[in-house]
Structure 1
């Protein structure tokens, strides 16, 4: 299979090396996708000397294979759907998954943004970080959210991604950093020795660190 990252922190170090040209730039903000992208993003933010914030995106998973997405949703009613995948699903299943994930998105938005000012990306370079790029749906939704929030430039940084997902995302971001891009993908978890489920507490602790 090739390269495997020890954990999300090591993956973040590799991304930071590839993003060194953004270090110290005052308009840069690093956005971790909840939840797995936040530990990666925290390392990137430290190395770039940039603020860290969170972007809540919910994957719309195929009912019998939840890790495989047919789309994604984000704040402000953003919805991105892979029509090729969704067309093979029962519309009732699509509606049920969307309803459930919309409720979870609202819960997480309230949890992570509680007490934090609304995300303002006006004129900023938004570096969106996740732990992997499987279908690209979450990344595309995240890019659309960032555009709606006024981002001037969008950089997507992921440690590993599928070749076909990369081609779909390329068109909606200004820069894409993906050190490991493979046609033989399967699942993001295959490329990490430690791919534990990131908890709400872990995300909150990273966001609450002194800046």
Structure 2
């Protein structure tokens, strides 16, 4: 999405020729392959561990680090490999997203009219919200110290990066649609009108 927004704002005349169906399939395929390879490697690493003390994890779902914590094997190598893999597979997409938005922000500031700036920003604001929510919660979960006080908070933030982005994507992207905005405005008006009359 960030590359799509980059082309739409920074290179609008080339958008139709560059962002074709083939490129969309390649971008989606790279994303899927990246995820499949990462989790396949993590799965192989998990198979090497023994679980003899407990089979109950302290989490909402079977997250890799939660499974590592309950293992009775030596997990130092597994933790190191997972850290390296997470960096290798997560940092490049994050960096590309940040670089795309730096170029987008620079291009928006170069637009002379206020209306043009608002229109350009509105095309990428929904994606910025979802990406910020995803990467922000991911950074909080994996970069904060692993203390007793942070354990429950990390569980909540892990829901933010696993559940919220796919849940709010349809809502956030459809809010750009004029018909959806008008329907939402009417529904909100009816609710507020009913609330004030009662």
Structure with the bigger percentage of strand: 1
Pick the TM interval, shorter chain: under 0.3
Instruction: State the TM-score, normalized to the length of structure 1.
Output: 0.24
Structure with the bigger percentage of helix: 2
Larger Rg: 2
Q: Relative contact order, CA 8 A, sep 6+: which one is greater?
A: 1
Instruction: State the TM-score, normalized to the length of structure 2.
Output: 0.25
